[in-house]
Structure 1
Amino acid sequence: MAIDTFPEFQRDELFYSVISRHKVRLGYQDPKDITEDLFGSRTAAATYDFPCRLRRFCKRLPKDAGITPSSIIKDNTLFPIYEPFLAKARAKDIRKKMACSDFGGAIHNALGVMASGVRGVNALRCCPECVDEDRVECGEAYWHRSHQFPGVAVCHKHKVPLLESHIRVTSRQNKMNFQALEKGYDREWRELASGNSLSLTDVWIAEKVHWILGQELPIWGLGVLRKKYVAHLIRLGLASPLGRVRQREFEKEFVAAFGKSYLKEVWSDVEGECNWLIALVRKPRKATHPLRHLLLMKFLGTEPEEFFPDCGFGNQPFGMPPFPCLNPACRSYRKPAIEEVKITRHTNSGAVVGNFECECGFAYARTGPDTTAEDRFKRTRIISMGSVWEKELQRLDKDPSVGLRMKARFLGVDPNTIVKYLARLNGSGEIRSQKNDDEKGERIAEYRSRLVSAIEENPEKSRTEIRGIAKADYIWLYRHDREWLMDNLPPSMPRSKSSDNRVDWVKRDDDLFSRAKEAIPSLLISTPPQRVTKGRVGQMINSLALLEKHLEKLPKTKQLIERNEETLEDYQLRRVRLAARELRTRGENFAPWAIVRKAGLRPGYSKKVLREIERLAFAEV
């Protein structure tokens, strides 16, 4: 059914709000009638934050309306503030669900909203001054999306407390009912915070939420976000130069910055060893609620406007000076010693390039921008070695105990670089000999004598055993006098004939088959659930190596394992069913998110698993 007329979308208006105004204008009495007209379904829910079925809705609008699922998601939902803090694949999947899916609960599950611990809003909110302004400018008031984000208690524009309406978005009676602000607005609604208790943090959060909602920010992924956070912690002295976070000190200062009571009010208290704050600066495993990202940014002293424009460090793609010298021969090696960087562009790629030069003469270049703390100690190429490095090379060259590779390790370069610089420093195309022939002859005689003594003292030992007894002498002679070494070692031992003992694979197959047949049912009833795999069965019957290396020789055992082995999807389906059974037995919450949490599933499970979760959740509804 095509829609002939529809209200104009207003600035910062919720999609929910536009539909509620349309409902009032056309005088719909039955909430199901409007969802059928707009979405083609009488069971569509009135979702305020992450609506779905947007493609169906847009198809019903006039062709010249210029409204698309993407434009609604960008301008009229809360998704833009969640998107920058997700993995790219997850963000793309959620956009697709909002456009095409019939089940809004799947979107909340994919975002991790339920499992985050940050409570969604109980009732829609509004700013009394925005209501007055909207009535003058637009002719009627509407629900602003920036007022509906969890943790926002104040209007970003007027800096007054928001009013909490009586329209409970979580109640069953409002599940399918779009309610307009003008229909029930009451200036006496409860204020979320009194004017006296408003803090600078409340205002800051409100302003930053509004700013992010109005942007199209890059989706870097969880790994890059973590690297940037760690870089700021290094600046604050709460992480080592290599990025090791001082967890206890970090957590203590974070709590002190906001206070325990405030963090509890915004559902972000940090308790336990694996709390959300610590998880944000460790290897990322799951997404964290945007409110908590904003709290961390405020603590780090950075604004989203500074944090997001590029992957570098604002206008400093290589961070702030001083920069470290990377010359191993310099006293300032890996210490702040270089006061400025000359920034150029790569001729071919256009990438930013930093050129660094220390007083020791060592100069190097690095392609940027830096994205991690470790990048500060990397170099793309060496421009010049400098006099200090060359003098250290000459000193090492005079020491007969230091070989070519050791020189290279000491000076942080390739052995071929050592050869090239020695040839140049010695004024010839060849490396200057470190020992004259007489000295070398004396050294060879010394090593030969020690090895001969070791052989005479151990006449029954084999070549391999002699090598272990006189290891240093053996290695030196192997490198410098191999022909003599091979001629003077004990004769090679004849290889022992292989045993003619044969394995009875049929008997072994029968034995392993019976043991595996007992192990598999044990795995299926184990608590907590364990996945049935070849490796796990092998561990249980103490024959893992046999199953990994010789399974082809064990046909009965192989067939048994292949028949019972679980794919990851099979394993997840079994866990979901077990979780649903336990929740039903205990009479606990049976919502999809509760099943997911009970089953311990991480985001990214298949559509088949999602359909099974939904089937179990709504089987008895």
Structure 2
Amino acid sequence: MLHWFPTPYPDELLYSVLARYHVWSGNTSPKMTIGELFGKRTVRSVWDLPANLNALLSELGSYWDADQLINNHTMFPYYAAFLLPKQAKQVKKSMLDGDGSTIHTRIGVAASNVKVKTNLWACSDCIIEDMETYGETYWRRVHQAHGVFVCPRHGKVLEETTVSVKAQNQHEFIVATPDVERTKIRLDGLNKEEIQLLFDISKETDSLLNNTRLQANDNTIRSKYLELLKQKGYASVNGMVKRDRVYQSFGAKFSDRSLELLQSSVMFEETDWLTMIFQKHRKSFHPLRHLLVMMFLETDLDHLFGKKEYQPFGKGPWLCLNAACPNHRKPVIKELTVTICYDTRKPVGTFHCDCGFVFSRRGPDKNKDDQYRVGTIKEYGHVWKAKLTELVNEGYSLTEIAKEMQADRATIKKYAAELELKVPWKLPKVQKKEVNEPLEGFETQLNERKNKWLNLQEEYLDKSKTELRKMVPDVYAFLYRNDRDWLNEFSPVKKRIQTPNKRVDWEKRDNELLKQVKKVVQTWDKDADKPTKITTSSIGKKLNELPLLQKKADKLPQTMEYINKVSEDTVSFQKRRVEFTIEKLKKENEPILEWKIYKKAGLRPTVSNEVKRLITLRTTEYETVKE
């Protein structure tokens, strides 16, 4: 049994603890250290998921706990959270026992295309703090995790050391030192959002390592994913994932450059990891990719592992915001319907109060003040209308009623007209509604048509919204008239054309596009009735390449340099309009007069002095030539 052993530091790898033991014990041979620690000299040094821990614990004595050692000082929590329960149990058993040969194969690292870091990484600020606090530094777990390029504590870009994770001597533990040779990781060219993504990943990785979580069953995480996909409109009510929407939104959230850096690029294929991670989990997926999916679905680890439910508007009951209700601003609403905004994909809550007041707002709520916010009032209800009638009958003015009811004057006039109230102000004309059937019958018809529309989409997965509309024009028309928001939310989105899965030669693309742009500019406004301002937008529209110029400008340096050179400001465009108008007047044999130039060119008398001088100069030249 060992009589002394270093106390592990926060988040220190067990590998680092054993390396410090080797240095402080004064042993000259790595095998001598291995023999003292494990009672045998055949154990290999493994930095992330070491085995033979029972042998080590027997040498350390009863003070040390296996779970504490594994959960706090190895990479086990990082992988175990996303393993199937049986897998996690087997990995832990292998770490405690003497056979560690199957560990990396079992967790999927060996077959994963997310490759491990080849050397150990460090943070220069952490090293400085360690030397001031402990008088020595150490290897931290979080810095070695895949996808972690930034220190979660200091927000500083990490540095790669020359210490290999596979030392030449397979029994050697290499200690961290403040003067270890290291190179700062280059993240040149990343924008603010991409850098923030890397910082978020490092924070979530740190949380993953320091809070051991295990799935309750084989589909704990997959079920949570499916729940969130439905809430965000990425899956049907029956659980069918809308892959085109997922890939479109995923690509919009994470840049190609970020995904390539994180070794998690996606392709619209059945075997792609982003497709398979939402299916029943029969194999392991890398924790880094789970973190990306988690960020995409705007959730966190606590929700994934069942510690809290997804509640974008908090826990009910919710406040009634009807100014006429006796329960105004009191938590009495128990009915809440959550849908997804068609444009932003954010949750929209529709609140129904017993007073008849129905309102909605876009979420999620970020602070307490949001619960007092009304986005759209869908129905004022019987209590509000009764209060309006009461105030009108008591002779209150329009301004007083609007203030009391917390509604604008136009709304008060509209409902006063619908209720046929006698008021001293002018009312708008309101077309009376003919009720041909009870509300219950209407709701039944609406739900029937909604179900038919959803079933049609599931039957014809490849059909677009327009194609489905032609198949059932009566269903589409009914939903469009009566619940347009729902129709927009639960219709197929326009599919992007899938390009071949090969890297774009941007230099070649830049050269080709530059030729097209030059050609367009050279013939600009040729045979046109009136001139068009030369801008990036107008050039892009003429070439039908506006999205490319807007979103990939950084990849088209030559083209953008030329466009910036020929683009016109307001004065330049006005001067060209003057020249264009003069040439047109000459062709039509009309006199070149100042007032005609202003009128034909669409210029105001308030144009800049530079433009005024040009007009005066051109008219004077014309008069001189004429004489």
TM-score of the two chains, using structure 1 as the length reference:
0.50
TM-score after normalising by structure 2: 0.49
